[in-house]
Amino acid sequence: MTFAVVAAGQPLVPSIQSLYPPDADFGGGVDLTVLVQGANFAPDAVVYYNLQAVPTAFINDHTLQITLSADVLNVPGDGGLEVVNGGGAPSPSQLSLPDETAASKHSIIVPFHVNSPGVAATPKVSSLSPTAADVNTPSVWITVYGYNFSSDSGSPSVGRWNGVARPSIVLDAHTLMMEITAADLPKIGTARITVLTPGLSETSPLTFHILKPQIYMPSVHR
C-alpha cells in the first residue's frame, strides 16, 4: 500500500489495495472477473494488465471491476495490474514517469499470479460471518468466505480453529462452513481461523472474537 502527498490542485493518486480473486487457475477457456479495490479511482479509470488495457467497469472510487480474458489465463506466472485514471498509456517504468501530473494518474503496479498447469490455486480467506460469539456458546457454525476452496472428496478444504481442524462443509469455491462448540469458547479472547487444503499452504488467519455475554436488565417504571 502506498501513501502519497500531492501538490495543491493535483488529482489524488490511485492505489490498489486488494484483488478478488488474488490469483487464478491456469487455462479453463473462460474469462475471469476480478474486483480491484483501493482508493482514488476516477470514473474514467482504466486497468492495465502487463501494459495492455483490459475491460474496466467503474463501481465507485474504491472499486473497479475488470475482465481478464481466457488468453491471459493461458500464460502462467506473475503479471502486473495497474490503474490509470483517465486512461492513457500505462507506465513503462515505475521509476521514470514523465512528470508529476502523469505520476498522479498511475497506481503502483501490483502482481497477479496465474498458476502453472496442473497446480491448484492456493486458498485464501477474506471474511467471516459471524465474527464473534459469546463465551461458552454451545455450538456455532461460522461461514468463511474466500477463494479457491476445494470440494474434492479426496482432499477437501478444512476450516481450522487455532491450527486444529474443525467439522467443515465446502459449499463452493468461495464459501466454507465450520463448526465450533463450547469447548472452543471457554474464555473471553480471540481465536485464529484459517483454511487448509491438503497439499497446499494454509491461509493467513482471520480473527474471531470470544465475548462476555451481554446481561440485559429489565427497565423499572415508576
The tens digit of pLDDT for each residue in 2-44 reads 455 555 445 689 999 999 888 888 887 889 999 999 999 999 9
Closest CA to 192 of 208, 174, 168, 170: 208
Domains present along the chain, CATH in parentheses: 15-114 (2.60.40.10), 124-211 (2.60.40.10)
* Residue 200: pLDDT band with limits 50, 70, 90: confident
Q: Say if residue 71's pLDDT is above 50.
A: yes
CA distance 106 to 199: 38
Could you count the other beta carbons within 10 Å of the beta carbon of residue 34? 20
For the residues of 65-98, what is the DSSP string, one character each? EEEE-TTGGGS-EEEEEEEETT--PPPS-TT--S
**Which residue did the predictor score with more confidence, 147 or 4?**
147
Task: Provide the pairing of β-strand 15-20 with 32-39.
Answer: antiparallel
Candidate ranges 89-93, 123-127, 192-196; pick with highest mean pLDDT: 192-196
User: Cβ distance 148 to 173 under 8 Å?
Assistant: yes
| pLDDT value of residue 178 | 98
| pLDDT value of residue 116 | 87
Task: Compute the average pLDDT of residues 146-154.
Answer: 89
| pLDDT value of residue 187 | 95
**Which residue did the predictor score with more confidence, 50 or 153?**
50
| pLDDT value of residue 118 | 82
| pLDDT value of residue 88 | 75
Mean pLDDT of the chain: 87
Length of the chain in terms of residues written: 222
What's the 3-state SS for 50-68? CCEEECEEEEECCEEEEEE
* Residue 129: pLDDT band with limits 50, 70, 90: very high
| pLDDT value of residue 106 | 92
pLDDT tens track for 94-123: 433 444 445 578 999 999 989 888 887 789
Closest CA to 185 of 126, 129, 145, 142: 142
| pLDDT value of residue 87 | 75
* Residue 205: pLDDT band with limits 50, 70, 90: very high
pLDDT tens track for 165-186: 999 999 998 999 999 999 999 9
Global pTM reads: 0.68
| pLDDT value of residue 212 | 92
Q: Cell numbers 473462460 correspond to what residue?
A: 30
| pLDDT value of residue 12 | 84
